[in-house]
Amino acid sequence: MSKQNQWIAGINAVWSALQNDHEHVREVLIEAGAKNPRLLEIETQARRLAIDVRRVATQALDGASGGVRHQGAIARYVAAHTWSENELQGLVEGAEGRALLLILDGVQDPHNLGACLRSAAAAGVTAVVIPKDKSVQVNATVRKTSAGAADSIPVVQVTNLARSMKELQQLGVWLYGLAGDVGDPLYKLDLRGNVGLVLGGEADGLRRLTRETCDGLVSIPMPGAAGTGVESLNVSVAAGVTLFEAVRQRSST
């Protein structure tokens, strides 16, 4: 996994880092005078783990968090919990024929990526795959929005998304891209084996090469959309719908 120095902000993000990856937390800053019991829990847990804790002024938290709403807690973190693309094959093989991947093609909004990671963690995905370019990366805002999911599931950054998709297909993973009203309805698919669900970015959806690499294109039926001007779902909502359809199918086998 690649490493970098960063601050993570927010009660859930800091707590998750302490619970799931405390070896990479170097210090925790807590708002001086704060009485929130969850901040006290964070302080107690950090001290129990022998991590430096400092009480500082709100202005210091504002500056270190880079404008992210911190809720009175930030932590200096020295490892971005993202995975190398070379590890993707091992993750798929380790799922023993039931790999569930979420592949995001160019999601730009950190809040959307964080929400996608949160749904992915709840669905028990094998990994989330994102491109290194033309996509938001796992930053402080993503960590906060994901409510800890960024630390609990593999987030794999790849250099060439289409190439990585082809490699996944060679491993026996079927890739289905969501493309508006194109293709079969989602609920007709068999999502019980090795499956990758491919979603595009907020503005343009799936890029041409990504779309062409998919084994099939599918849509989410929206019977109430006619006449409302609603043409598509937000990417994080669509991710939740598709992932939990896979969960529903897999829970019945």
Is 183 annotated as ligand-binding? no
CA-based radius of gyration for the chain: 19
Contact 245, 178 (CB under 8 A): no
45: tokens are 């847990």
Q: Is 220 annotated as a binding residue?
A: yes
Name the residue type at position 220.
Answer: I
Name the residue type at position 125. Answer: V
How far is 253 from 118, CA to CA, in rounded Å? 24
Q: Where are the beta strands (DSSP E) in 121-236?
A: 127-131, 155-158, 174-178, 184-185, 195-200, 216-219
C-alpha–C-alpha distance, residues 216 and 190, integer Å: 12
DSSP 173-203: -EEEEE-TT-SEEGGGS--SSSEEEEEEBTT
Q: Would you tell me how many other CB atoms lie within 10 Å of the CB of residue 214? A: 23
Specify the residue for token string 């995905």: 125
- Angle, helix 11-20 to helix 37-48, in steps of 10 degrees: 30
Binding residues, as ranges, are 200, 220, 233
Binding residues for S-adenosyl-L-methionine, as ranges, are 200, 220, 233
